[in-house]
Amino acid sequence: MLAPARRSPSCLACLFGLLLLLGSAPGAAAQSLDLAAGGYGLSLGDSERIRGVRLNVRDARLRHVDGINATVWTPKEPVRGVVHGLALGLPATGARRIDGLALGLFGVGADEAMTGLAVGGVGAGAGGDLTGIVVGGVGGGAGGDLAGLGVGGVGLGAGGDLR
């Protein structure tokens, strides 16, 4: 008779554990594991820059991502970094500037500016100008000008012009 098969932990659970470990080492020099050649590839943890896919729990050292930046929570203060491509938050994400597509189960935000499409289950917005399409389940807005299309379940606003 065959012994019952043992279940191994899922790859997703292992990846999340690795990300937590990389992000929780205070003062450690290496905050990420980069599987990249010439700056192109996969980065696990809080790397400063990558062209490809960057998976992290919470950003603190982000400088620049060309590709996909997937995080679990909003960045630590001071918010820095630029994302060109997809900023994905499960449940929330943000950066200093986002150009492209920003999706967050709870919300997405850019401290300075956002250009492209921003969709947040609860809210989406930018501290400065927002250009493109913004959709917030409860609300959306910009601290500066909002140019494009905006949808907010309860409200939508702009500190500057709304065009």
What local confidence, expressed as pLDDT, does residue 25 receive? 47
Cβ–Cβ under 8 Å, residues 58 and 75: yes
Mean pLDDT split into 10-residue runs, the chain, 163 residues: 53 50 49 92 96 96 97 93 97 97 97 98 97 98 98 96 95
Residue 14: predicted pLDDT: 46
Contact predicate 106/90, CB 8 Å = no
Q: Could you give the CA distance from residue 66 to residue 22 in angstroms, rounded to a whole number? A: 21
Distance CA(98)–CA(88), nearest Å, equals 11
pLDDT for res 9: 55
What pLDDT, on a 0 to 100 scale, did the predictor assign at position 31? 86
